[in-house]
Structure 1
Amino acid sequence: MRKNAWRLLPLLTLAFVFNYIDRTSVGFAALTMNQDLGLTATQFGWGAGILFAGYCLFEMPSNLAMYKVGARRWLTRIMVTWGLAAAGTAFVQGPTSFYVLRFLLGVAEAGFFPGVTFLLAAWFPAQYRVRVLAFFMLGVPISSIVAGPMSVWLLQLDGLMGMHGWQWMFLVQGLPAVLIGLVLLAKLRDHPRDADWLTHDEREELLRMLDEEPRHQPKKALWAALKDGRVLLLAAIQFGFVLGSYGIGIWLPQILKQHGLSLSHIGYLSTIPYIAAVIGMMVWARIVDKSGKQVMHLLLACLLGAVGLAASTVSSGLAAELFGISVAVLAVSSARAIFWTIPTRFLTGVAAAGGLAFINSIGTMGGFFGPYLVGAIKDYTGSFSAGIWAMSALLVMSAALTASLWRLVPKE
């Protein structure tokens, strides 16, 4: 397991860092881009969120193609095309071209996360998966820790070679994904039997562990998986906490800007919630793996996220607002890692490839509605508070739906 982890996780986590940077750093670009392009809060929220429309529409076709082609080659294709689309956002001219490039970025990225989840489930038995997924998902908070200071520094290149700072930001943060994709092609393997870094005995032992892994009413056929009530329920649960995650991530720089902070202060303060998440989610993942109670901990994470969001609006002070947001980010980041161990308990083969993509495609629509919802409510009310309360309510909904999983996923 240690050999597999060192071979797979650092590279996949680095890929996820740039995946998330290319999705969410648009929030930093908005600090100057919105004025340059004449975008309203609603238009920006729509453009930031429309990525997820393209992502969700092409999620299942992408993951089914991965099942046919192999994860190694398909993940490479995803990274190369998304890197080019992310860099191309530097050349948008107004709302329409902004919408088109963000939509294309979503199409290019489609299938990356469920593809990696499918790949890791083929390499690690169930008792390791929360920790493995938590390590991979460190890409989310690490990307936000890196993106803040990096984006602010790139924004200050305004005027260099006749380009805006936000244009440099998209170029510099987008193109590395192309290079990482080519490294994936060389380093990844699709199946444990192809692992040249393991001895023959290690490969055989790993395959035995995976074959003997207990599964609850396993589904192998795609259509049977899509009709499974657990799959539909998981998609709805993910919708709530993904909405909260992206609602915070996209708008955090502008929430901080309300306090009259400089660009550099916004960049550094925006890292605080994600530093808390890096520490908290790894500790929480170890606790979940030892207890085996994924459903209970997913429920607790959703509730804690709702409480953190609500608490961030109680006081107008910067410290109290950052504390509440930090609690919410820690909880939602932990929920992601816990959540993705549940569907692989009852999905296998093509059902896992299609089922995971279906869950992610429906759930990830929260990434569209979160930024748009906050932006539209901000334009209507003049404040971020009402939008944050709406996200908190949807996290409570996810917690309530999670409670019903106890009847559908036995032996918790």
Structure 2
Amino acid sequence: MCRGFSQMADAGTRLERRAITKISWRLLPLLGACYLVAIIDRGNVSFASVSMNAELKFSEAVYGLGVACFFISYALFEVPSNLLLNRFGARRWLARIMVTWGIVSMAMVFVRTPWEFYGLRFLLGMAEAGFFPGVTHYVSEWMPAHQRGRAISRFYIASALALVALGASAPPLLGLHGLAGLSGWQWLFIVQGLPAVLLGVALLFALPDRYSEAAWLEPEEKAWLDREMALGTAATGAAPIGIGGALLQPIVLVAGTALALNFAVGSAIGFSLPKLMTDQMHWSIAQAGKMTVVSGVLVGVAMLIAGVVSDRMARPSRLVAILMLVTAAGGMMILFGGTTMIAAAGGVIFTVAGQVAGLVILITLTRFIHPTARAAGIAMSNTLGQIGAAIGPALWGLAASATGSFSLGLLIASVVMAFAALIAWSIELVTARKAPSPVLSSIRPTAHQH
């Protein structure tokens, strides 16, 4: 009898491995490539600003407000975008998002005045709104709860690879200054905006809306996924709720507040980090690019580790709090490091810990929100995050313009991240009654159980 149970368990393990491997290889590389391009297209303005601001005579306040405009529109249209994704299907809606944001990103080449800068950044946020939470929800509809953290981290690692790609490609593209009568920053937007359009077209042909429609999954693999998803839904400890309830769940609001503070600080410093390094440390743009590459590699490694660790934790919010405290420490190292390598190390630590903290918050949300509320809940939390991302750069730019340096902004940012750690720890209070049992998550139906 024991041998029979062992054979059944082995069969179930093989079926799980086969299904997860297929899904991982069919979906995650394509979605990761799309997210990589998204991060590049929203962040390349940080490198462009080094020469664009001087050429167009943009002050730090003008630049900061322009960066904020992206996040304002992203926040306004994120929840509606995710609801439309549910209506039209992931394949068509994600393709629409990518094509439109690629076109808007390339249109940055026409910017000449502050209001044109504000308008196109606002349109870029509107076009991209809903992409990340939409993909997060989409992946969670394909992956069982005990595999979800690793799957999302493998997709989210594209943000780290984007730092590598941006740091490596931006300096050479900026070096094209004068080619065909265009400035280097204009070539940057043209070359890095086109892939979004091409990938958007690819999504129309390669992305199934749901696993039941995937021709490359066998019937028994789909049946296994049905059972796993049902078990995961039961483990949330939550009842199905409507859209209104989903938006106002305590975990959504608390996690969203933590994201807002994290994104406010991350976007404020992140979008100014190349300029901060060239101004404060007197580095060349090539050296700033190399630091971005190093940060990206370390972020990628840290994300893979965080995905595995969070899957094994009953309440990953503790990990979020620790990462936010490390982020605050990185900000203080930049502030007091002066022109030494301590400041450079602080920039790397700040980037790595801050990015991974945001990832673990989103993994936590997919674990504790009922599937019927997941799309709206994730979108709402991310919307709050984008509001923070809009406020941060605007205040950062005003502080830099008023004081003539980044010191005040760095000090405030570090204090805010320490406070964010307290908020992140409080996520545990609203998930304490819903924590999935480690025993339950380890007992999954095999291929022969019904």
Shorter-chain-normalised TM-score: which range? over 0.9
Work out whether residues 33 and 158 of structure 2, in 8 Å CA contact, stay in contact via their aligned partners in 1: yes
Q: Match for 1:41 among 60, 64, 71?
A: 60
Q: Match for 2:328 among 290, 306, 315?
A: 306
* 3-state SS of 1:197 partner: coil
Q: Match for 1:276 among 269, 273, 298?
A: 298
**Partner of residue 244, structure 1:** 265
Change (3 A) 1:288 1:350: closer
The whole-number CA distance in structure 2 between the counterparts of 1:285 and 1:389 is 30
Change (3 A) 1:219 1:230: farther
Instruction: Determine whether 1:190 maps to 2:209.
Output: yes
Q: Deviations 1:334-370 (Å, cap 9, x if unpaired)?
A: 1122111222234345522222111111111222122
The whole-number CA distance in structure 2 between the counterparts of 1:350 and 1:83 is 31
User: What aligned pairs does 1:5-404 form with structure 2 within 5 A after superposition?
Assistant: 5-213=24-232, 214-258=235-279, 259-404=281-426
Letter of the 2:377 partner, please give it.
G
**Partner of residue 5, structure 2:** none
The whole-number CA distance in structure 1 between the counterparts of 2:317 and 2:131 is 24
Q: Deviations 1:347-405 (Å, cap 9, x if unpaired)?
A: 34552222211111111122212222222211122221221222222222221112222
Superposed displacement of residue 44, structure 1: 0.6
Work out whether residues 216 and 409 of structure 1, in 8 Å CA contact, stay in contact via their aligned partners in 2: no
The whole-number CA distance in structure 1 between the counterparts of 2:352 and 2:292 is 13
The whole-number CA distance in structure 2 between the counterparts of 1:271 and 1:9 is 22
The whole-number CA distance in structure 1 between the counterparts of 2:293 and 2:81 is 32
Superposed displacement of residue 281, structure 1: 2.0
The whole-number CA distance in structure 2 between the counterparts of 1:341 and 1:269 is 28
Change (3 A) 1:286 1:350: closer
The whole-number CA distance in structure 2 between the counterparts of 1:316 and 1:346 is 43
Range with bigger deviation, 188-197 or 110-119: 188-197
The whole-number CA distance in structure 1 between the counterparts of 2:346 and 2:240 is 40
Superposed displacement of residue 244, structure 1: 2.3
Superposed displacement of residue 295, structure 1: 1.5
Superposed displacement of residue 227, structure 1: 2.5
Superposed displacement of residue 110, structure 1: 0.5
The whole-number CA distance in structure 2 between the counterparts of 1:262 and 1:346 is 45
Work out whether residues 130 and 337 of structure 1, in 8 Å CA contact, stay in contact via their aligned partners in 2: no
* TM, length-normalised to structure 2: 0.88
Work out whether residues 315 and 431 of structure 2, in 8 Å CA contact, stay in contact via their aligned partners in 1: no
Range with bigger deviation, 283-292 or 93-102: 283-292
Q: Number of paired residues?
A: 412
Letter of the 1:126 partner, please give it.
A
Q: Deviations 1:133-161 (Å, cap 9, x if unpaired)?
A: 11111121211111122111111111111
Q: Which has the larger radius of gyration?
A: 2
Range with bigger deviation, 251-260 or 385-394: 385-394
Letter of the 1:7 partner, please give it.
R
The whole-number CA distance in structure 1 between the counterparts of 2:40 and 2:240 is 35
The root-mean-square deviation of aligned C-alpha atoms, in Å, is: 1.5
* TM, length-normalised to structure 1: 0.96
Q: Structure 1: which 5+ runs fail to align?
A: none
Change (3 A) 1:397 1:172: same
Letter of the 2:118 partner, please give it.
Y
* 3-state SS of 1:374 partner: helix
Work out whether residues 236 and 370 of structure 2, in 8 Å CA contact, stay in contact via their aligned partners in 1: no
The whole-number CA distance in structure 1 between the counterparts of 2:122 and 2:197 is 19
Q: Deviations 1:44-77 (Å, cap 9, x if unpaired)?
A: 1111121011111111111111111111110000
The whole-number CA distance in structure 2 between the counterparts of 1:291 and 1:227 is 25
Work out whether residues 239 and 364 of structure 1, in 8 Å CA contact, stay in contact via their aligned partners in 2: yes
- Tell me the percent identity: 34
Work out whether residues 219 and 346 of structure 1, in 8 Å CA contact, stay in contact via their aligned partners in 2: no
Work out whether residues 324 and 420 of structure 2, in 8 Å CA contact, stay in contact via their aligned partners in 1: yes
* 3-state SS of 1:39 partner: coil
Range with bigger deviation, 282-291 or 54-63: 282-291
